[in-house]
A and B are shown apart, each in its own frame.
Chain A
Amino acid sequence: GAGVSQTPSNKVTEKGKYVELRCDPISGHTALYWYRQSLGQGPEFLIYFQGTGAADDSGLPNDRFFAVRPEGSVSTLKIQRTERGDSAVYLCASSPSPGRSSGNTIYFGEGSWLTVV
């Protein structure tokens, strides 16, 4: 597709359940980012992939959160034992080649709205 694609667009789950959120970045983009956004707040960084490896996972809030990108394209954010406080929009973004020369413009998907009840 032309843009970053995220599925599902909406997910309602019960407290304690496991959730997977999928991101399909723009073709050819090597960098992939996951952010989380709560109502009235800006996007909060979670994890950054360069190719297949997690180059920076300093934003993951705890060990219930994990993300993979096994083939350097599609990524999955996994949340175990969900809590009500995990309710937010999870945004995925990609960029062609991060760094000073490119200016690191990133392209966002529309987000996956997660509600934990």
Chain B
Amino acid sequence: SQKIEQNSEALNIQEGKTATLTCNYTNYSPAYLQWYRQDPGRGPVFLLLIRENEKEKRKERLKVTFDTTLKQSLFHITASQPADSATYLCALCASGGSYIPTFGRGTSLIVHP
């Protein structure tokens, strides 16, 4: 069956360090992969998208990598700040269909001052 796995344990890091979150998937052929941020009590907010033929994407302090051989995406936040504390969701949009995003359960990031 199709699975999207994100670490259920919270990631605790110190301010200024780089946070790295992992998204692994099985039995998918994604056209692209997306990362969203979700704050408590709020809806998810889109951050970045990376296509199947792209290896890396950057946006300000954010970097996403996509390895379709390993079936893995890494999401990095450099120079992390306490305001980056949130849950980060990975979503896959499968090819050959209507590109409906399917979400992982998310990983909570806590940046300590």
Q: Which A residues are within 8 Å of any B CB, using their own CB?
A: 4, 33, 35, 40-45, 48, 50, 55-56, 91, 93, 98-100, 103-111
Contacts and interface: CB of A to CB of B under 8 A. Distances in A.
Interface string B70-113: 00000000000000000001010101001111111110000000
The A interface is mostly helix, strand or loop, or mixed, namely loop
Contacts of A35: 103
6 contacts: A42-B104, A45-B100, A103-B34, A106-B101, A109-B43, A110-B42
Contacts, number: 66
The B interface is mostly helix, strand or loop, or mixed, namely strand
Contact of A42 (B31, B42, B45, B106): B106
Nearest to A102: B99
A104 B93 contact: yes
Contacts of A40: 8, 105
B49 A105 contact: yes
Interface in B1-32: 4, 6, 8, 31-32
Contacts of B103: 35, 42-45
Nearest to B44: A108
B9 to A, nearest CB: 12
Q: Looking at A4, A42, A106, which has the most chain B CB atoms within 10 Å of its CB?
A: A42
Given A41-B105, A105-B34, A106-B46, A100 B98 contact: no
Nearest to A4: B43
Contact of A55 (B49, B98, B102): B98
A115 to B, nearest CB: 14
